[in-house]
Amino acid sequence: MLGVIVATLFISLIANIFLKKFALPTIIGYIFTGTTISYLFDLHSVVNNQQLKDVAEFGIVFLMFTIGLEFSVKHLKEMKYEVFVVGSLQILITTFVIFIISFFLFGLDKYSALVISMAVAMSSTAIILKTFNETGEINKQYGKNALGILIMQDIAVIPVLIIIGVISSKASNLESVASGIIFGVAILLVSLYIIGKYLLEPFFTQIVKTHSDELFIGSILFLAIGASYGAHALGFSYSLGAFIAGMLIAETKYKHQAEADLIPFRDLLLGVFFVTVGMQIKFNIIFEYAHLIIFLLLSIMLIKFIIIFLIAKMSKDNNRRTTLKTAFSLIQIGEFALAILELARAYSLVQPPYGQVMIITIVISMILTPFILKNLSAIADFFIKEEGIESEEKLYSPSISEHVVILGYGEFGQSIAEKLKSYEEFYIIIENNIDRYQLATLNKEPVIYGNAANREILKKANIDKAKKIIVAIDNTKKLHLVCQILQKIVHYDKVIVKVHSIKEKNSLVELGLKHIIVENEETTRAIAQFI
């Protein structure tokens, strides 16, 4: 087993280094790795291992948690049309159309046709949101549309699993199932309301006062995994619970640091998830049913494109480019479809040939998705030439630029903030000392709670668009680490650093920094004026 892990890491590293040279997403590298190791070590049966599936699914769980951090309850209310109207229509219409085609054209029995149609209605949360998060397109109108539909698809997991359970068991009845859902929803909503309103903020405050990064990270993992497990225990999906937990934390001051700390876990487990997707590719099935797979792939993508395009077109916020990009973003079949087909296979609702062909079709559609998402603007330009390129890309959240970022709100940071305020310069402060953060909040400063040594926190302050970054950190070790990170993100000419001694200055000069103010030198110069 250790040899498999080493081989997986090695192949994924080599594949992704190669792909990055061509600006291709790492998702492709992970899927390629999964296919390669499944043949090298004969692991096709391992992909059905429940423990491996659970670990892989937590990549999506953490992804949905970090998405939830970006969308508070207020934010979700603003998206109610995209989630509940557009999302619901997409699922219902797609399911109906695919069911009719499967039942009448392909002659499948009604239960197999229903299961396949529900699977096809799903799109890939993992690929779309990961890609849009990395590119910032999640903040554009078509990103907002895609997110709304994906959230509704995740909510739809509940009725889909229930339907499969009902049609697979004669003992099940809709009345008992419906009462179970209502009971589960009531417990989930009440529990989350109490936790979010009364317990979350005090809990985080106590954790932060320990000044322990390990405890803070542990608390974030506990909340993300705990909410996922609680939702699953009540019959909901893991990822839905994580999404709601993220939205609750989004109401607190700790949202940015929570996201920054969870990102490494999310990306690692998403890699595991895509490796398991690649492990499901079987070349013998591809060669034997190549004509059918190609036909299904093109037909499904075309059908989903038409349905999503027509539904998205109904919104007054969407022009043709936005509508086109929304439709192209969601034409693939998603990872949850694999889980639906696996569950249906266990209940003998889908026969082996159809199940295997559908799995290959789903995986290929997922492989094509990063290429489609990467070229959305080029595709839109090909179909629509008369509209301005950026006309549809209305930002979902404001973009800040030409501002000053102050790292640290100690005495020096406070003095800088006061001076910038008198000059009417816009600035953002980053501080991870809870007492100083609360002081900044009390002073009504634009402050983000988080560790300035974390690249994700710096991104929250749009540091790449700032005109100046002032490092006002007293801790020498942390100051040096922050400057090393800044060196990789922004031009050295933008960075201004305050240090205590010449020795500290010399170590920063080696990093290429030019604007370094030595506190002792300035003090000496000031005293010398009175002598």
Cα separation, 227 vs 385, in Å, equals 46
Q: Which CATH class is domain 404-528?
A: alpha beta
Q: Bridge partners of 429?
A: 406, 447
User: pLDDT tens digit string along 408-427?
Assistant: 999 899 999 999 999 889 99
- The residue assigned the tokens 């509704």 is 152
Q: List C-alpha distances in Å: 381 to 24, 331, 395.
A: 21, 18, 19
Cα separation, 84 vs 151, in Å, equals 9
What is the pLDDT at residue 294?
94
Residues in the chain predicted with pLDDT less than 70, given as ranges, are 23, 44-54, 70-75, 158, 162, 165, 168-181, 184, 237, 343, 346-347, 385-399
What is the pLDDT at residue 510?
78
* CATH code of domain 51-383: 1.20.1530.20
What is the pLDDT at residue 72?
65
What is the pLDDT at residue 256?
81
What is the pLDDT at residue 174?
56
pTM reported for the whole predicted model: 0.67
Q: Provide CB contacts within 8 A for 148, sequence distance 6+.
A: 79, 81, 82, 83, 86, 87
What is the pLDDT at residue 395?
42
What is the pLDDT at residue 180?
65
What count of other Cβ atoms lies within 10 Å of the Cβ of residue 213? 12
What is the pLDDT at residue 386?
52
Encode burial over 253-289: b for 16+ CB neighbours within 10 A, e otherwise: bbbbbbbbbbbebbbebbbbbbbbbbbbbbeebbeeb
What is the pLDDT at residue 305?
96
Q: Are strands 427-431 and 404-407 parallel, antiparallel or unpaired?
A: parallel
Q: Provide CB contacts within 8 A for 462, sequence distance 6+.
A: 399, 400, 401, 403, 428
What is the pLDDT at residue 388?
44
